[in-house]
Amino acid sequence: MADRFDFAGRTVIVTGGASGIGRAACVKFGQSGANIVVSDLKIQDAQAVATVINEFGGTAIAIESDVRHADSVENLVKQTVERFGRLDVFVANAGIALAKSLEDTSSAEFDRVLDTNLKGIFWGAKFALPYMKAQGGGAFVVTASKVGLVAQLDSPIYCASKGGAVLLTKALALDYAKYNIRVNCVCPGIVDTPLLEDFFQQLPDPAATRAAFSTAQPLGRLATSEECADAILYLASDAASFVTGVALPVDGGFTAQ
Ligand code: NAI
């Protein structure tokens, strides 16, 4: 039952916790003894994840939050601290995909991707880090992407949002190191989640693209959500106590090429 990390007595928020990588992280944090707040736009799916964790003996609650809106994220942090009395880890994971060229992307789509994938991290940091500062420390982990490190064809706005996420991570790591707060990001490659399927469905031949993406990874396959969640738990854990400002690829070797 227990995972390889120990988060007993610690409180963890995961945004986008109802699905994919975020869901896997919630379950693993739950298995590691954390008080886990499963947060998502989709409250019923978040509640289902919390139920799974509570049923195996963990401690989880679900809180509805839209990372695009300051008041929603502020309320998420406030409710968490009211319920559990502290906040040790914030995982800014919520994100959406956009597989569109520059010329096909509307202003509304640009705003939606940047508001979710970049501004959502800003709000998480803005409201979580002051609590951690007052508490004497904490860990903030961002789910960025390998496309925040190297660009990919036909998704310039998604790449821009993830490039911003990587540099926001590094800048916050510098600013908050003096408060014993570590800020890191994982940079997943291609992970088999509902978001990936949504991304494929935006392209002309989803099945062919899935096959091509798999063989393009040096390890020859897509990652699982659990493999990305393991990296998130590592960066949040005491095992990474001297690790901050890192963008950790979890990409099967893709960015080593
Ligand atoms: P997913 O679609 O399975 O899960 C994302 C979750 O975020 C969903 O439950 C969704 O409801 C939630 N969400 C979306 N907008 C939100 C908002 N405004 N406020 C709160 N919650 C919101 O996706 P997946 O694949 O697990 O993605 C998680 C993160 O990993 C994202 O940031 C994504 O960009 C990133 N990522 C995913 C990769 C992949 O291949 N699946 C590769 C690299 C990065």
Distance 199 CA to ligand 1 centre (A): 11
Task: List, for residues 111-150, the tens digit of each pLDDT value.
Answer: 999 999 999 999 999 999 999 999 999 999 999 999 999 9
The pLDDT of 64-93, averaged and rounded, is: 98
pLDDT at position 153 over 50: yes
Verify whether residue 234 is a known catalytic residue. no
Report the nearest-CA residue for atom 4 of ligand 1. Answer: 19
Ligand 1 and 94: CB distance under 6 A: yes
Report the nearest-CA residue for atom 7 of ligand 1. Answer: 16
**Which residues lie closer than 8 Å to 34 by C-beta, 6 or more apart?**
7, 8, 10, 11, 12, 58, 59, 88, 89
Percent share of the chain, pLDDT over 70: 99
pLDDT at position 236 over 50: yes
At residue 191 the predicted structure's pLDDT band, cuts being 50, 70 and 90, is very high
At residue 1 the predicted structure's pLDDT band, cuts being 50, 70 and 90, is very low
Catalytic one of 158, 176, 179, 234: 158
- Pocket of ligand 1, candidates 65, 74, 193, 248: which has the most ligand atoms within 8 Å of its Cβ, to mutate? 193
The rounded distance, in Å, linking the Cα atoms of 58 and 60 is: 6
pLDDT at position 79 over 60: yes
pLDDT at position 2 over 70: no
Ligand 1 and 148: CB distance under 6 A: no
**Which residues lie closer than 8 Å to 57 by C-beta, 6 or more apart?**
1
Q: Which residues of 41-54 are buried (b: 16+ CB within 10 A; e: fewer)?
A: beeebbbebbebbe
Task: List, for residues 196-211, the tens digit of each pLDDT value.
Answer: 988 888 888 999 999 9
Q: pLDDT value at position 3? A: 61
Ligand 1 and 191: CB distance under 6 A: yes
Q: pLDDT value at position 100? A: 93
At residue 184 the predicted structure's pLDDT band, cuts being 50, 70 and 90, is very high
The pLDDT of 97-116, averaged and rounded, is: 97
- Pocket of ligand 1, candidates 21, 141, 199: which has the most ligand atoms within 8 Å of its Cβ, to mutate? 21
Ligand 1 and 187: CB distance under 6 A: no
Ligand 1 and 41: CB distance under 6 A: yes
Tokens of 236: 């949040």
pLDDT at position 158 over 70: yes
The pLDDT of 152-163, averaged and rounded, is: 96
Distance 187 CA to ligand 1 centre (A): 13
Stretch among 119-123, 193-197, 238-242, 245-249 having the lowest mean pLDDT: 193-197
- Bridge partner list, 249: 187
How many other C-beta atoms lie within 10 A of the C-beta of residue 180?
A: 15
